[in-house]
Structure 1
């Protein structure tokens, strides 16, 4: 894979949206409150200060001391609107205004008089030395009258009109794209943060080089793929890899889910698709990532019930838009799904999604690399070997491995440790794969029955194993839905399974039932999970793998749901005679391996008893202890187990987890690996 170097001198981004000033939240609320207070104070002052309307002659008399009221001070303002010698006199009085037609209200001390002022009256007012003359200030008077109305109009605007305008914008933006823009300065992820998918990184590295130097490809006549479809199981890092492409290329990254296009109203999704591509063109070069594209790209008109108008119109718009732009514009589409079989064929043709990149579950080397990436933020002890953890977690995705380390860190914190030790990771793995320990109160008879059951699985697996899938741990402590489990960890990634290994799995699954019958002489329902697992393997050998006398013929039927498939009806693939032969072949495989396992346990009866007694005594033993019993007849190495919580018969355990109710099965459910029995 070509090395992608982080060059410090990056070309500047073009057409990035400028940062807009964001006003403080609820600023219009505070402004409205201030306006309301100002208006209320103005009207309160006007209402409380009642002004008495007097005649000019009465004011002159009061100024000369005639009457019980005296003038404290006053102002004479010529009123231009009243013509020549027309004035307005305002001021304040001392004393009570006598009752009369000139008195307007209350005992106010403020007065106002308007009228024609003669020269004689003006001389009398000037002699009192309590009046002053001022020129009219029309703009101040007008402003004092207009300000309250301006404040009131502004209040109405901010409280009502602005809200209605914003509501209108929300309605108009209903068809806008909901894609989130992540720039290079925010949540930057590079290829160094992605591990376990080297082949996928090598393919998407071409996109990075194209976004950095488009002419390198165009001058050779080549065209970069318009769309890249990432396919793989959940948790394998498809979204993370898409973000890493944008981080390495340092271009804007638009992220949206396929479900964001589909709405109740027909045409909204198509509008959002057009708006998304328009935003992409404005911010080119950029990446547009559509997660879970099967939500909008599902095959049209398939399955029971026909199609969906809104989803199909959205898909049609997406197909047209992908045909309507060229990669020279610098816009590249990356989509992710874990169901490529349900996508419309028009979406997968060349010219739209030209390339499919499979992001599969990591192998043992990839798992170790993923663990090292996630272990950067965790304080690990020196005894933690990530290589051993990677070997013991086949079938786990990157998300599962991250969860494994996180559970180990939480478990170490609950145990008041300063570092995460290997035993914490081992216990976290059992918790993630099989569930948390549930210390149930079992009487001696049930405890012995579970011990014999698990000992039967362990003995057969230890005898049949050729060193590739050794027994890892045997326990009679309930986990998840099982009352006990036998786990085995392969020493390498198993990609193919020969017929001999499949038969060994069927034989090992029968070990618990064989041990129960041999020791107690009776049968229980504890082996129902083992029987289902063995039957599934045997039927697959006959119908799918061609490992029977029926020959290499695919006899299995299509089991896809009619809501997702292409055909609504089901056709009979095999005749009744062939179906009978299939049942006979499956029965022959199971009965044959049952007899094989019965022979092994009968020969190793002494070892079976010792393994069961060790389980009754210690509750959990390791695979090496089973091998020591088979070779030496006893356990040589010490058995080290975590102390169990104190239990009192009839009372629940402390910190009992809220797991699913236990079933009547002894064996654990089948997991990718390590596999319980």
Structure 2
């Protein structure tokens, strides 16, 4: 009957294991192991302290109790006390730095140390599910191995751009796991002493094995893993050996060391081997076996391609969980999570925040809202408005606006330049947010625009529209002043990048071959590769010429709209996108959303 009851319990574990929710309570093998180890520690302490306690009781009963204090031969010799004190201080100064050089730099976190829970992880359902599955397999490793015959995961790699929530999810895992969570940055392993980096890594894994056997399981989290897990290929021996090759070799060994015996088991093995030397084969003692330590290693990096391939093979980091920039649906959840905790007017909604934050990471969304609160506070308000959010977006993306005190002629030229960008952006169906002639960072003015709807694919037509918008400031200046100023330099660089991508990456040049795939040591980027190839350079130049001609036709045909936008900029410094669209709508129909306004060249 007990066996059948155990089978029923195991089947319940498997059912919960596949539910996608975090295991808890009796479903966690680690909890049972932790309780068993706790009782074992109590028994050991009882066996150790019982003789000492009995001896103290015996001394007390025989009227000869032990009285603590300083020995009499020391009380009358202050010179000896001073000498011993100096020796202790000198020994500490010499030994402590030496003994701590190979110490593991990790920090142990418990559930109560983290205020982040899995419920706080929003906008990443699939990533969260993958992490929960890995946690459940770790917490119910015995069930998974004994009932289903599987091997639990020992290593999970978090990979994604900065700010996408890798460390945030790790903190939530630390709070929910209920086992020791060893947090460490990979750079903390590095040491100025030869061999100490490897020793720190060995000590880190040794502490993990010890904690896992005492607590039923342990999780190790290594931040910025690429600092110690970089690829070994092409590295020479010598001074670089420990920094690259030796460290990676140490990691490879330690990832297979979860069944190494503890110090106590090693001590037993020594004595068993000593006795067995004197015993016949049929009477030899069995060597103690060390169970597999229940350990999960989680490593985080934003450069997974730079890691050594041996680390990513099955049995080591055999599961990679990707963290990506959230899509619109996820951004709505993230924005709502933060809005619930921040003061805002009713006009500020999660949907609007998601619309203006395309391409933002969760950290950037939170920073955007914090900056909006700062702007509201500067105006004497305690809650943010949507205008504060848009202003905060310009501050976080471009910089703080500065009034430069332009000469009137120069002010008008900058306004004409930005009006050209704004006009063509509206005509090509771009979503214009604001146009400004205030200086931000190195830009004397700007036009902020984006896609009207979030899209993940770009077409060659989209790229040509962007080239046209980029070159429209040049076209407007040439039309009004006969030549363009130095303000077009960044526009030309941006347009050249897009044209080079069309030719060298997207197959819109003279052939379908990708120049990006070429291993050219003298060309660090796609622009250099395109410019170094004569045929590709001519194709990219053709896109630039086409864009410049389209921009010239647009600013010439809608010259009145260009002047009206420029006048508004000269008067107000900044003009909102709705006002710009209203100005352009007075001269042409921009309600159709199927494509850009087509301008035909005069015959």
Q: Into which bin does the TM-score normalised by the smaller protein fall?
A: 0.7 to 0.9
With over 3 angstroms needed to count, the CA separation of the structure-2 counterparts of 1:401 and 1:167, relative to structure 1, is farther
Matched, 1:532 2:493: yes
What is the deviation of 1:432? 0.2
Instruction: Name 2:181's counterpart in structure 1.
Output: 253
Cα RMSD after superposing both structures: 3.1
What is the deviation of 1:521? 1.3
Instruction: Name 1:4's counterpart in structure 2.
Output: 21
Q: Aligned partners of 2:209 and 2:491: how far apart in 1?
A: 57
Instruction: Name 1:270's counterpart in structure 2.
Output: 198
Query: Does the 8 Å contact 2:22/2:132 carry over to 1?
Result: no
Correspondence list, 1:371-382, <5 A: 371-382=335-346
Q: What SS does the aligned partner of 2:297 have?
A: strand
With over 3 angstroms needed to count, the CA separation of the structure-2 counterparts of 1:144 and 1:164, relative to structure 1, is closer
Instruction: Name 1:310's counterpart in structure 2.
Output: 242
Which segment is superposed worse, 186-195 or 617-626?
186-195
With over 3 angstroms needed to count, the CA separation of the structure-2 counterparts of 1:353 and 1:621, relative to structure 1, is same
What is the deviation of 1:375? 3.6
Instruction: Name 1:509's counterpart in structure 2.
Output: 470
Query: Does the 8 Å contact 1:391/1:491 carry over to 2?
Result: no
Q: Aligned partners of 1:633 and 1:625: how far apart in 2?
A: 13
Matched, 1:412 2:376: yes
Q: What SS does the aligned partner of 2:112 have?
A: coil
- Greater helix percent: which structure? 2
Correspondence list, 1:219-234, <5 A: 219-234=147-162
Q: Aligned partners of 1:147 and 1:560: how far apart in 2?
A: 78
Correspondence list, 1:155-166, <5 A: 155-158=82-85, 160-162=87-89, 164-165=91-92
TM-score by length of 1: 0.68
Instruction: Name 2:227's counterpart in structure 1.
Output: 295
Instruction: Name 1:324's counterpart in structure 2.
Output: 257
With over 3 angstroms needed to count, the CA separation of the structure-2 counterparts of 1:423 and 1:559, relative to structure 1, is farther
With over 3 angstroms needed to count, the CA separation of the structure-2 counterparts of 1:541 and 1:528, relative to structure 1, is same
With over 3 angstroms needed to count, the CA separation of the structure-2 counterparts of 1:365 and 1:158, relative to structure 1, is farther
With over 3 angstroms needed to count, the CA separation of the structure-2 counterparts of 1:151 and 1:364, relative to structure 1, is farther
Matched, 1:484 2:438: no
Instruction: Name 1:186's counterpart in structure 2.
Output: 113
What is the deviation of 1:305? 9.4
* Deviations 1:336-373 (CA, angstroms, capped at 9, x unpaired): 11112221111121111101111111112222222333
Query: Does the 8 Å contact 2:426/2:581 carry over to 1?
Result: yes
Query: Does the 8 Å contact 1:236/1:359 carry over to 2?
Result: yes
Instruction: Name 1:354's counterpart in structure 2.
Output: 318
Q: Aligned partners of 1:611 and 1:262: how far apart in 2?
A: 58
Matched, 1:494 2:455: yes
Q: Aligned partners of 2:385 and 2:86: how far apart in 1?
A: 61
* Deviations 1:626-647 (CA, angstroms, capped at 9, x unpaired): 221122269xxxxxxxxxxxxx
Correspondence list, 1:116-195, <5 A: 148-150=75-77, 153-158=80-85, 160-162=87-89, 164-165=91-92, 167-195=94-122
Q: Aligned partners of 1:181 and 1:452: how far apart in 2?
A: 60
Please, which of 542, 546, 565 is the counterpart of residue 588 of structure 1?
Answer: 542
Q: Structure 1 unaligned segments of length 5 or more: list them.
A: 19-142, 563-567, 635-677
Q: Aligned partners of 2:72 and 2:488: how far apart in 1?
A: 93
Matched, 1:601 2:555: yes
Q: Structure 2 unaligned segments of length 5 or more: list them.
A: 1-17, 42-69, 260-290, 589-603
What is the deviation of 1:265? 2.0
* Deviations 1:34-58 (CA, angstroms, capped at 9, x unpaired): xxxxxxxxxxxxxxxxxxxxxxxxx
With over 3 angstroms needed to count, the CA separation of the structure-2 counterparts of 1:599 and 1:244, relative to structure 1, is same
Q: Aligned partners of 1:149 and 1:464: how far apart in 2?
A: 97
What is the deviation of 1:302? 2.7
Correspondence list, 1:536-615, <5 A: 536-548=497-509, 550-556=510-516, 579-615=533-569
* Deviations 1:164-197 (CA, angstroms, capped at 9, x unpaired): 2364133112112111111112124221222232
Q: What SS does the aligned partner of 2:413 have?
A: helix
Query: Does the 8 Å contact 1:208/1:248 carry over to 2?
Result: no
Which segment is superposed worse, 534-543 or 181-190?
181-190
* Deviations 1:453-491 (CA, angstroms, capped at 9, x unpaired): 1110111111111xxx31111111111111111111334
Please, which of 576, 589, 596 is the counterpart of residue 622 of structure 1?
Answer: 576
Instruction: Name 1:393's counterpart in structure 2.
Output: 357
What is the deviation of 1:155? 4.8
Query: Does the 8 Å contact 2:138/2:296 carry over to 1?
Result: no
Instruction: Name 1:75's counterpart in structure 2.
Output: none
Q: Aligned partners of 1:188 and 1:8: how far apart in 2?
A: 20
Q: Aligned partners of 1:230 and 1:207: how far apart in 2?
A: 12
What is the deviation of 1:230? 1.1
Q: Aligned partners of 1:463 and 1:574: how far apart in 2?
A: 32
Q: Aligned partners of 1:199 and 1:306: how far apart in 2?
A: 44
Q: Aligned partners of 1:249 and 1:258: how far apart in 2?
A: 22
Q: What SS does the aligned partner of 1:323 have?
A: coil
With over 3 angstroms needed to count, the CA separation of the structure-2 counterparts of 1:512 and 1:209, relative to structure 1, is same
Query: Does the 8 Å contact 1:233/1:360 carry over to 2?
Result: yes
What is the deviation of 1:402? 2.0
Q: What SS does the aligned partner of 1:383 have?
A: coil
Instruction: Name 1:78's counterpart in structure 2.
Output: none
Query: Does the 8 Å contact 1:264/1:310 carry over to 2?
Result: no
Instruction: Name 2:47's counterpart in structure 1.
Output: none
Instruction: Name 2:274's counterpart in structure 1.
Output: none
What is the deviation of 1:287? 0.8
With over 3 angstroms needed to count, the CA separation of the structure-2 counterparts of 1:483 and 1:248, relative to structure 1, is same
Q: What SS does the aligned partner of 1:487 have?
A: strand
TM-score by length of 2: 0.76
With over 3 angstroms needed to count, the CA separation of the structure-2 counterparts of 1:167 and 1:493, relative to structure 1, is farther
With over 3 angstroms needed to count, the CA separation of the structure-2 counterparts of 1:145 and 1:201, relative to structure 1, is closer
Matched, 1:240 2:168: yes
Matched, 1:436 2:400: yes
Which segment is superposed worse, 530-539 or 416-425?
416-425
Q: Aligned partners of 1:513 and 1:575: how far apart in 2?
A: 23
What is the deviation of 1:329? 2.1
Instruction: Name 1:523's counterpart in structure 2.
Output: 484
What is the deviation of 1:152? 5.1
Matched, 1:345 2:309: yes
What is the deviation of 1:291? 0.9
What is the deviation of 1:586? 0.8
Query: Does the 8 Å contact 2:530/2:537 carry over to 1?
Result: no
With over 3 angstroms needed to count, the CA separation of the structure-2 counterparts of 1:263 and 1:144, relative to structure 1, is closer
Q: Based on CA coordinates, which of the two structures has the bigger radius of gyration?
A: 1
Instruction: Name 2:586's counterpart in structure 1.
Output: 632
